Amino acid sequence: MDGDYIIGGVFSIHNYMHTVKHNYTSIPEPLRCTGSVDGRELRFSRAMVFAIEEINNSTELLPGVRLGYRIHDSCASVPVAVQAAFQLTNGVQPAFDTGETCSQSGTVTAVVGESGSTPSISTSRIIGPFDIPQVSHYATCACLSDKQQYPTFFRTIPSDRFQALALAKLVKHFGWTWIGAVRSDSDYGNNGMAAFLHAARKEGICVEYSESFYRTHPRSRFQRVADVIRGSTAMVVVAFVSSGDIRLLLEELGRQPSPPRQWVGSEAWVTDPNLLRFSFCAGTIGVGIPQSVIPGLREFLLDLSPAKVAGSQVLTEFWESAFNCRLGRSADGAEETVCDGTEDMQKLQSPYTDTSQLRITNMVYKAVYAIAHAMLGWLISRGDESAYRSEIDLLLTWCSRNNLELNALKTVELIVDFRRNPAPPPPIILGGTPVATVESCRFLGVTVSQDLKWGPNIDTLTKKAQKRLFFLRQLRKFHLPRTLLVNFYTAIIESIITLAITVLGQLKRVNFSRNGYQVSFDANGDPLALYELVNWQRSESGSTEIVTVGYYDASLPAGQEFQTNRNLTWAQGGTQVPVSVCSESCPPGTRKVLQKGKPVCCYDCIPCPEGEISNTTDSPDCLPCPEEFWPNADRDVCLPKPIEFLSFHEALGIILATFSVGGACLAVVTATVFFRHRASAIVRANNSELSFLLLFSLALCFLCSLTFIGPPSDWSCMLRHTAFGITFVLCISCVLGKTIVVLMAFRATLPGSNVMKWFGPPQQRMTVASFTFIQALICTLWLVLNPPFPIKNLTTYKERLILECALGSAIGFWAVLGYIGLLAVLCFALAVLARKLPDNFNEAKLITFSMLIFCAVWITFIPAYVSSPGKFTVAVEIFAMLASSFALILCIFAQKCFIILFRPEKNTKKHLMSKNPSD
């Protein structure tokens, strides 16, 4: 349709291009499309016509201006899209949908389209050098945001960069870390999948396979991709494909049943109602362009009749295909009929008439209105000198920051004169060569402006412009004419303002709202990224329908982009989120170990080693517990180590304490017996004073073992070793004294012997006191220099903490034991010498036997003490003390008490002096 200004349109109304066979002997056939009409793409093109007619009928936007349109079919192929771009640029051929005979030709003001990214790239490269803006409704490749390559490209649909990020976050949101990926082998699929995989890697998602295909590939390619999907272990398949490509793959998958798969789709196909017939894809989720409502569009789409469609080849083809009849010509076969005018568009069920979910259609609608608003700004500013003022102010700021002189009024005058093609100033001579002033400065100015025109703010403009000032600085350095400088500034300003007062320049600044939807572009020509989260759900009737279950808003803070407001259904109608992982999550208490040759999502769960824990799921490492802590059985938390010491509350401690108290009581009972029979012959004959002192020391020895039971403390550690050393030396000293007394007593019976006067009771007391004092001195030095102290033993047992007494000085400890051993050996030797004296009077044999047991106990104590761990070290020491103490009291006093209590007839001086022991 003609108009004052023409807007071009390029849509993929057919999905295939006729394959041309070149024989190089004749002119090639013209490029043409094949296959059936895509009703959805036809709706897009009709939405463009509807928007243009709505604008033409409006008195608010572009009043008095009539817009026309030229719509081309790209066949979803690059060659036809390129041909359409050339036709829109120079108008050498009429378009398919003119509505009436084309009477005008020439460059279009702007272009809406194309639907695919690859054809859009080709189109933009052709029309871009002519500064013709292109606004796409469906090309989402992130590469098109590069303004160095595509300076005139805009779009009303978000870039795949945002979609890829949204899909990666969506997959991560549901805990899927092991996925398959398929993509279209096109700019859309390859660039989109590359962006998705980059975002997925950052989210810790692994890809089992990544396959590509395209609608023109042979069936064997689709069979191979389908076999990969069937044989994979990944439950989730992310498909970054176009609608036409995924349809062929799903048809191939439908030929042979495959395991259920959870599909995650890009917006190019997940909102396409034509694909809902693939029932095995129920549960698919993905992101889509938000639904919208365009008042009056449905009525416009249905307002077709045979008379209205006759002027358009594509509409005629659609009508004949929809109603299975021939329009305006006779039928070719018996199965075909001639359209008679009774066909009812109201009853037609097709993607063309489906306006229940207007998504991409609204993108077309917004693209047309964005171009219209840009044209409005262009028409208002064109020829109006005041429209330049804001642009000049920006340049003035830039020049002043760079210490460049410029007069605003003079600049405006020069611009006006420049546009009227004034006579160029005379050339200047540089290095003996004449240089055309205007042409040189114009070239440099345009070069600067190419960087300036996409700058988001004046600071960015300044930084970019400074890179181009070398030439100007050279001119100032040599004090060249001011005319040259003014021409330089003029060229820059003219270039920028010329751009600003074009549709392209105004399109960058559009910011309006239509039907409740905001339209604006950022510095890359992209809109704000806002998606719906859609889910394919089965309705009560059994059919599959697209349901909006949430939103994704890239402008929200991290972690809050997704908002869901409905329950989702999953693969095969499930209500539970499917699991798609290479390896199950490692529970706390284990760590991940990567499987050799596989992605990082494939790992084995290894229990934490001894003494280490992991308290998070999928922990890569185990952490050691602090010294005084130990892992629990699950190795997911560090607990304080159980404290171990010989306690009065445990069986071993109770047994040892019982024997200790029992031994002390036995000593007291024995002393009581001796005291009550102190006048008897046996008590008097066995040196009653030393006997009572020995029994007292034995009682202390028994009670001393109690200090070894219970939690160690500073005082208990010092007390237990010193009390043990002193009481045992006192005990051995008494035994030694009794042994010496026996020897001296028999020597005193020899004629002329006066020995006993030298070893009477005073001497005996002095001997015991002297031996005991030496031990006390050793203990005192030990306590003063390096006393025992309590410690926490963390080395004997890893899982337990042992409270024990450190020796402090090992020399002091072994000196105490050595001194006791020395006295015991001395006593044993003297007892051996006296063992053959008369039995009735001699207790040397009893002392010999007791000291033999005593020495045996303490000799075996040394290796047992060294090798016993933990509290058993203390138990061994107590056992040695009790065993030696019981040996002494039983061997020395048991027989005497038996005679005193049960054989009193032997407790006489006559019996003791008898040479014959038998009775």
Mind listing the pLDDT tens digit for each residue in 83-138? Answer: 999 888 876 554 444 444 444 445 788 999 898 888 999 999 999 888 899 999 99
| C-alpha to C-alpha distance for 632 and 120, rounded to whole angstroms | 63
Q: Where are the beta strands (DSSP E) in 228-336?
A: 236-240, 262-265, 285-288, 325-326
Determine the pLDDT at residue 888.
84
Would you call 630 helix, strand, or coil by DSSP?
Answer: strand
Mind listing the pLDDT tens digit for each residue in 506-564? Answer: 888 899 998 888 899 988 999 988 899 999 998 888 888 999 999 988 888 877 888 88
Mind listing the pLDDT tens digit for each residue in 196-209? Answer: 999 999 998 999 99
CA angle 166, 167, 171 (to 5 degrees): 120
Instruction: Tell me 578's DSSP state.
Output: P
Instruction: Tell me 573's DSSP state.
Output: G
Could you tell me the pTM of the whole model?
0.61
436 pLDDT tier (thresholds 50, 70, 90): very low
Determine the pLDDT at residue 399.
54
Backbone angles phi, psi at 335, to 5 degrees: -80, -15
Determine the pLDDT at residue 238.
96
Q: Which is nearest to 211 in space by CA: 233, 237, 176?
A: 237
The overall average pLDDT reported for the chain is 80
Instruction: Please name the helix (run of DSSP H) or strand (run of DSSP E) that holds residue 16, with its range, or none.
Output: strand 16-17
Q: What percent of the chain has pLDDT over 90?
A: 28
Task: Report the range out of 435-439, 533-537, 566-570 with the highest average pLDDT.
Answer: 533-537
Would you call 719 helix, strand, or coil by DSSP?
Answer: helix
Instruction: Tell me 228's DSSP state.
Output: H
Determine the pLDDT at residue 235.
93
Mind listing the pLDDT tens digit for each residue in 454-513? Answer: 443 334 444 444 444 444 554 455 554 555 555 555 555 555 555 556 788 788 889 999
Mind listing the pLDDT tens digit for each residue in 374-413? Answer: 988 887 766 554 444 555 555 555 555 544 444 433 443 4
Q: How far lies 58's CA from each of 253, 372, 794, in Å?
A: 50, 12, 89
Q: Specify the residue for token string 């306590």.
A: 783
Beta-carbon count within 10 A of 880 CB: 21
Asked whether the CA dihedral 551, 553, 554, 560 is positive or negative, the reply is negative
Mind listing the pLDDT tens digit for each residue in 36-73? Answer: 888 889 999 999 999 999 999 988 888 888 999 999 99
Q: How far lies 573's CA from each of 536, 537, 569, 570, 724, in Å?
A: 9, 7, 6, 5, 82
Q: Which residue has the higher pLDDT, 453 or 520?
A: 520
